[in-house]
Amino acid sequence: RPLGLLAPPCRELAGTGSGEAALEENPFYGKYRHKIQELRRSSPDVFESRMEKRNEVKKQPVGYSKQGEFIKCMEEKARPIFFAEGLGTKTSKGGFTKDKTLDSILNVEMVKEKSAEEIKQIWNQYFSAKDTVYAVIPAEKFDLIWKRAQKCPSFLYALPRKEGYEFFVGQWSGTELHFTSLINIQTQGETAPSQLVLYHYPELQEEKGIVLMTAEMDSKFLVVHEAQCLANQVQLFYATDRSETYELVETFNHRSSEFKYMSVIAELEQSGLGRELRPAQVSDKS
């Protein structure tokens, strides 16, 4: 199996002896033989480079050996590297990544060998350790969202606050969905900066039946659970089977004079998506 094209940096390590013969003499060699051979077979240039480095470095003082670290480094190199940690990306104004491609995050060629369920597990496990929003969307659901986004590229979303709601406008730009608060747009117009961007990747949609999604946000304005609430509303309004719910999106885009803000709040409260944002608030409605 080929190694990932982009792997975490691993410093060159040296031990006593020289060449492969010395390496095989090490008492730990047998334990790691298959991993070292896998590295030698799948990436001979990396293997030879490490062998040469061992020969070049002077013998260390007695009692000082990094052979164990060398083999540990070999072992790490032999693991598949699915994620690229955003290498090769550029940031635009506001700190958001410009041209954030799936290849800049994930080793696409490697995961193509995996099933849809395995890719989902890899994606979720990776991003669960990060402070961000992410999802694996079924192809059919994203197809519906995408078709509707072409006809209705913007919508008004309501984010529950301790008192009342804060409105955000979501605007599609290709497969990116940019959010900014309504007050930002009212005060800055078209130059209003994004506060949350959802990145959708349909590269695996046809072959695997899934669309990968992740996000970036401005932490000065939003925290993860608030961004998640906005992301969930995209599916609530754009992927709904209820014609009345999607009609709100159509009204906002094509009959703005008829659009009522309170209709969005009513749909949100009915869905229950915003309840966790106001845990201390007790309803006294009769």
What are the DSSP calls for 245-281, one per residue? Answer: HHHHHHHHHH-GGG--HHHHHHHHHHHTTTGGG-TT-
Delimit the domains of the chain by residue range: 66-73+105-271
pLDDT in tens, 149-196: 999 999 999 999 888 899 999 999 999 999 999 999 998 888 889 999
Q: Which residues in the chain belong to E strands, given as ranges?
A: 90-91, 97-98, 134-138, 154-160, 165-173, 176-181, 196-201, 210-217
Inter-residue contact 280 to 245 (CB < 8 Å): no
If pLDDT is split at 50, 70 and 90, which confidence band does 16 have?
A: very low
Q: Give the whole-angstrom CA distance, residue 56 versus residue 18.
A: 9
pLDDT of 266 > 60? The answer is yes
For the residues 12-33, what does the mean pLDDT come to? 51
Higher pLDDT, 114 or 99: 114
For the chain, the average pLDDT equals: 77
- In the chain, the amino acid numbered 72 is K
The mean pLDDT of 255-263, rounded to a whole number, is: 94
> Lowest mean pLDDT: which of 41-55, 165-179, 196-210?
41-55
pTM of the model: 0.66
CB 215 within 8 A of CB 199: yes
- Nearest CA to 230 out of 268, 184, 202 is that of 268
What is the pLDDT at residue 175? 95
